Amino acid sequence: MPKLIKNGSVIDDAAQILVLDETQAPEALSLPEGQVFVPLAVWQAHKGVLSDNKAVGVWLESHESVDDLAEDLDSLSAVALNFPKFTDGRAYSGAALLRTRYGFKGEIRAIGDVLRDQFFFMQRCGFDVIQPKTGKYSDAQLEEALASLKDFSTPYQAAVDQPEPLFRRARRAA
Amino acid sequence: MYRYDSYDQKIVDERVAQFRDQTRRYLAGELTDDEFRPLRLQNGLYIQRHAPMLRVAVPYGLLSSTQVRTLAHIARTHDKGYAHITTRQNVQFNWPELKVVPEILAELAKVEMHAIQTSGACIRNITSDPFAGVAGDEYIDPRPWCEVLRQWSTFHPEFAFLPRKFKIAVNGATQDRAVIQCHDIGLELKRDAAGEIGFRVLVGGGMGRTPIIGAEITDFVPWQHIITYCEAILRVYNRYGRRDNLYKARIKILVKALGIAEFKRQVEEEWAFGKGGPNTLTEAEVARVATHFTTPAYETQPADDAAYASQRAANPAFAAWARRNVLAHKVPGYAVVVLSLKDPSRAPGDITDAQLDLVAEWADAYSFGEVRATHEQNLVLADVKQSDLFAVWEKARAAGLATPTFGLLTDMICCPGGDFCALANAKSIPIANAIQARFDDLDYLYDIGELELNISGCMNSCGHHHVGHIGILGVDKNGSEWYQVSLGGSQGNDTSIGKVIGRSFAAAEMPDVITNIIDVYRAQRLEGERFIETVRRIGLDPFKIGVYGDAAIIERKQHA
């Protein structure tokens, strides 16, 4: 079973990311068994049916806006944000907005080109589930990669994981 | 200057450990080239023509003598005996081996230095006025604000992978010496009617392929809100800046596409959520940082030292240096000394390990142990007593650091170019040296007067050619190196972007081209008129005729 990082630990996870190919219309719905993330277009076409199903989450492409989910967050338990390339940093703002602007308490999952050297930033921006790039890490490497979550022990600035900046958290000597 | 506390030190130490592990995994094949590239870039490490190039951060250009000695040691031990001052006030080493870079970073960390975010698509080293704290026209010291912003931007988790690089500059004096109009965010410190400190904010300026002068997004943000305001700008940019085309990814393209009014609307809509939040600055924090930038223990000195005056009268070479490279200081009896890195026998901005050691020694002896790096690629001793100037000059002259040409044609800004940089289209250093050799007569240079000549080896514009009174840009034409000349650019309060005068030139033609341009200026100038003022008054045509001849201009007009 694929492994991912949830709240700092490696766990098994069987959730599927439903990706539509060119021949599939969002209107035609066929969900696999178990936990699944559907594209935004599928969610929008079927949210009346899907919003009662706690096994269904939504995933957004990096150009899609979390603002479009604002009205639906109460009926969602999980949102995944895709990194098409790890250098595409839009999802960091997306996750931060979900947590701070929209108060989303459910799972926010990083998917796509997710590499260990970005784990620290992801965690700071509010991702609680980090699903590494498929096939990138062996089980042992993923355990080792947990260290990257702790790259820096006391960051300067406020973020989702640490809502106060250092100058409010610590009494710093002049 | 700012000294680390245990928090600052820990962040830098943890960075060394992080990069050491990343380098290990890269060398072990666990990280691909593509995966490692942004990581090493965010640590200032480029793979260049000869070896990796390491760019070390010098926050807003301030260095202690201890740091300068460490740079000398690194130049001697891990490089070929020299370092290079960049146009972001940073220091570059051109020859370190990748596998020793973690060691170099560890040595830097011991003296409160690092290479964090000196490259890559993130917030870069924050630059400022090299004369901060000592200039007579300063109304608010920018250094504490630079430091506050440095800490905020260091490893900011949301803005580590922006569409493109992001540069911030801060100025707090009547004269802009930080090029704030050509930055992604340019901050001008000011006071409102009630005397409260705040910032005028410019956005979307920059050089590069598409030079644009920044637009004012707000005329006043109170100081408490400067971080939340910058965060709002960065968030709008991170979400909506173009990522499909590297050449259209800077914030200036987004601002241009939306228009400043719409961009401002989006930023202020975003700011409404962050304003007043935890990132709001506190008086305690600003005061804590500001205590690091207090006035040094100046001695009471006569405003005009008698010995200094008689030394100038007796020694024309000293007088020439004092006239060009010694600047007024706000404290009576003190002076600001520009140590020139424009000796024609070296690449502009280069300095040897031995010179660095000497500069550290002079800083300790004459300038409270501090040195500044300028974006014009010189070093500065900011607090020298007038009575010490002659001694400083004698030593600087013996060390090749007293070329008396500050602000003149041969005090050029010049990127490393094709000799070192893998991005360059053409070499820039040989062009600079050839022009310096042509204009080696000091009387002639003094007659030409203030002139900024800037050279970039490619469109990335590290040599600031767009804002040079004379700008030279290296271009590639069918695999050979050519040079395009522009006139009328300017930095500072009246920033302008230069205009290209016509077809480009071969390297060997460049000294003649510059001579022809200068001849036109000398023939046309009015009494006391600087080069840039003449260009603005008479336009480009007389210079085109001087460079290309009447026939070429007439032919071009007929074709137009």
Stretch A100-119: mean pLDDT: 97
Q: What residue ranges of chain B have pLDDT lower than 70?
A: 48-50, 551-560
Residues B422 and B378 occupy one common structural domain: no
Contacts of A173 in chain B (CB under 8 A): 5
Identify residue B292 by its one-letter amino acid code. H
A101 touches chain B (CB under 8 A): yes
A84 touches chain B (CB under 8 A): no
Nearest by CB to residue A93, choosing from B18, B21, B238, is B238
ipTM, interface predicted TM-score of the complex: 0.97
pLDDT of residue B554: 58
Cα–Cα distance measured from residue B214 to residue B169, given in angstroms and rounded to the nearest whole number: 12
A117–B35 CB contact, under 8 Å? yes
Cα–Cα distance measured from residue B425 to residue B417, given in angstroms and rounded to the nearest whole number: 8
A158–B277 CB contact, under 8 Å? yes
B10–A153 CB contact, under 8 Å? yes
Nearest by CB to residue B158, choosing from A92, A115, A170, is A92
Contacts of A92 in chain B (CB under 8 A): 157-161, 238
Which chain A residue has its CA at the smallest distance from B122's CA?
Answer: A89
Residues B275 and B227 occupy one common structural domain: yes
**Residues B339, B345 contacting (CB under 8 angstroms):** no
Contacts of B152 in chain A (CB under 8 A): 156-157, 165
| Three-state DSSP state, B396 | helix
Give the C-alpha distances (Å, rounded to integers) separating A53 from A40, A45, B155, B511: 15, 15, 38, 75
The C-alpha of A55 sits at a distance from chain B's nearest C-alpha, in angstroms, of 29
| A76 CA to centre of own chain | 13
| Residues B283-332: tens digit of each pLDDT | 999 999 999 998 999 999 999 999 999 999 999 999 999 999 999 999 99
Is the residue at B171 inside a domain?
Answer: yes
Cα–Cα distance measured from residue A103 to residue A9, given in angstroms and rounded to the nearest whole number: 24
B38 touches chain A (CB under 8 A): yes
B273 touches chain A (CB under 8 A): yes
Is the residue at B296 inside a domain?
Answer: no
B11–A154 CB contact, under 8 Å? yes
Residues B421 and B382 occupy one common structural domain: no
Give the C-alpha distances (Å, rounded to integers) separating B364 from A126, A162, B336, B352, B353: 47, 41, 15, 19, 17
Q: What is the secondary structure of B74-128 as a DSSP string? A: HHHHHSSSEEEE-TTS-EEES---GGGHHHHHHHHHHTT---TTSSSSSB---EE
Q: Is the dihedral of CA B288, B290, B293, B298 positive or negative?
A: negative
A165 touches chain B (CB under 8 A): yes
Exposed/middle/buried for residue A174 (C-beta within 10 Å: 0-12, 13-18, 19+): exposed
All domains of chain A in start order, with CATH: 3-169 (3.20.20)
Smallest CA-to-CA distance from B225 within B176, B181, B187, B182 is with B187
Q: Provide φ and ψ at B53, rounded to 5°.
A: -110, 130
B319-330 burial: b if 16+ Cβ within 10 Å, else e: ebbbebbbbebe
Cα–Cα distance measured from residue B275 to residue B291, given in angstroms and rounded to the nearest whole number: 26
A157–B151 CB contact, under 8 Å? yes
Which chain A residue has its CA at the smallest distance from B153's CA?
Answer: A157
Nearest by CB to residue B157, choosing from A117, A124, A166, is A124
A142 touches chain B (CB under 8 A): no
Residues B333 and B277 occupy one common structural domain: no
Residues B138 and B287 occupy one common structural domain: yes
Choose the mutation target among A156, A161, A166, A171 for the interface with B, i.e. most B CBs under 10 Å: A156
B5–A100 CB contact, under 8 Å? no
Cα–Cα distance measured from residue B350 to residue B347, given in angstroms and rounded to the nearest whole number: 6
Which chain A residue has its CA at the smallest distance from B9's CA?
Answer: A154
B238–A90 CB contact, under 8 Å? yes
The Cβ-side half-sphere exposure at B536, using a 13 Å CA radius, reads 12
Residues B282 and B335 occupy one common structural domain: no
The Cβ-side half-sphere exposure at B299, using a 13 Å CA radius, reads 13
Which chain B residue has its CA at the smallest distance from A67's CA?
Answer: B239
| Domain end residue (candidates: B265, B291, B317) | B291
Spatial neighbors of A61 by CB under 8 A, at least 6 apart, are A39, A40, A82, A84
A65 touches chain B (CB under 8 A): yes
A113 touches chain B (CB under 8 A): no
Is the residue at B403 inside a domain?
Answer: no
Alpha helix (H) residue ranges in chain A: 40-50, 90-100, 119-124, 139-145, 166-169
Nearest by CB to residue A96, choosing from B11, B158, B292, is B158
Query: How do B62-64 and A3-6 pair as beta strands?
Result: unpaired
Strand partners, A78: A107
Which residue range is the domain that position B451 belongs to? 413-559
The C-alpha of B226 sits at a distance from chain A's nearest C-alpha, in angstroms, of 14
Residues B95 and B23 occupy one common structural domain: yes
pLDDT of residue B559: 58
Residue A131 has pLDDT above 90, yes or no: yes
A157–B10 CB contact, under 8 Å? no
| Residues B42-71: tens digit of each pLDDT | 999 988 666 789 999 999 999 999 999 999
Residues B151 and B280 occupy one common structural domain: yes
Nearest by CB to residue B5, choosing from A93, A158, A172, is A172
Residues B94 and B235 occupy one common structural domain: no
B269 touches chain A (CB under 8 A): no
Choose the mutation target among A160, A162, A172 for the interface with B, i.e. most B CBs under 10 Å: A172
Q: Provide φ and ψ at B139, rounded to 5°.
A: -110, -25
Residues B61 and B183 occupy one common structural domain: no
Rg (CA), chain A: 17
A167–B162 CB contact, under 8 Å? no
Is the residue at B211 inside a domain?
Answer: yes
| Three-state DSSP state, A27 | coil
A168–B282 CB contact, under 8 Å? yes
Residues B334 and B391 occupy one common structural domain: yes
Higher pLDDT, residue B16 or A49: B16
Which chain B residue has its CA at the smallest distance from A159's CA?
Answer: B157
Contacts of B232 in chain A (CB under 8 A): none
Residues B287 and B138 occupy one common structural domain: yes
> Looking at residue B461, which CATH number applies to its domain?
3.30.413.10
A92–B159 CB contact, under 8 Å? yes
Stretch A127-147: mean pLDDT: 96
B275 touches chain A (CB under 8 A): no
B159 touches chain A (CB under 8 A): yes
| Three-state DSSP state, B370 | strand
| Domain end residue (candidates: B50, B76, B110) | B110
pLDDT of residue B152: 98
Is the residue at B121 inside a domain?
Answer: no
Is the residue at B125 inside a domain?
Answer: no
Smallest CA-to-CA distance from B79 within B421, B351, B341, B340 is with B351
pLDDT of residue B421: 87
Nearest by CB to residue A92, choosing from B39, B153, B157, is B157
Contacts of A168 in chain B (CB under 8 A): 278, 282
Q: Count Cβ–Cβ pairs < 8 Å, chain A vs chain B.
A: 109
CA geometry: angle B49, B55, B56, nearest 5 deg:
155
Contacts of B30 in chain A (CB under 8 A): 141
Choose the mutation target among B116, B158, B245 for the interface with A, i.e. most A CBs under 10 Å: B158
Domain count, chain B: 4
B152 touches chain A (CB under 8 A): yes
Contacts of A120 in chain B (CB under 8 A): 157
Q: What is the secondary structure of A47-82 as a DSSP string? A: HHHHTT-TTEEEEE-TTS-GGGGGGGGGG-SEEEEE
**Residues B260, B215 contacting (CB under 8 angstroms):** yes
The Cβ-side half-sphere exposure at A120, using a 13 Å CA radius, reads 18
Q: What is the secondary structure of B5-46 as a DSSP string? A: -HHHHHHHHHHHHHHHHHHHHHHTTSS-HHHHHHHHHTTTEE
Neighbours of B259 (CB within 10 A): 11
> Looking at residue B358, which CATH number applies to its domain?
3.90.480.20
B130-160 burial: b if 16+ Cβ within 10 Å, else e: bbbbbbeebebbbbbbbbbbbbbbbbbbbbb
Nearest by CB to residue A152, choosing from B21, B155, B277, is B155
Query: Six-digit token pair at B107?
Result: 């040595």
pLDDT of residue B230: 98
| Domain end residue (candidates: B61, B77, B110) | B110
Cα–Cα distance measured from residue B290 to residue B265, given in angstroms and rounded to the nearest whole number: 33
B11–A167 CB contact, under 8 Å? no
Choose the mutation target among A81, A82, A90 for the interface with B, i.e. most B CBs under 10 Å: A90
Is the residue at B268 inside a domain?
Answer: yes
Q: Provide φ and ψ at B477, rounded to 5°.
A: -125, 110
Is the residue at B145 inside a domain?
Answer: yes
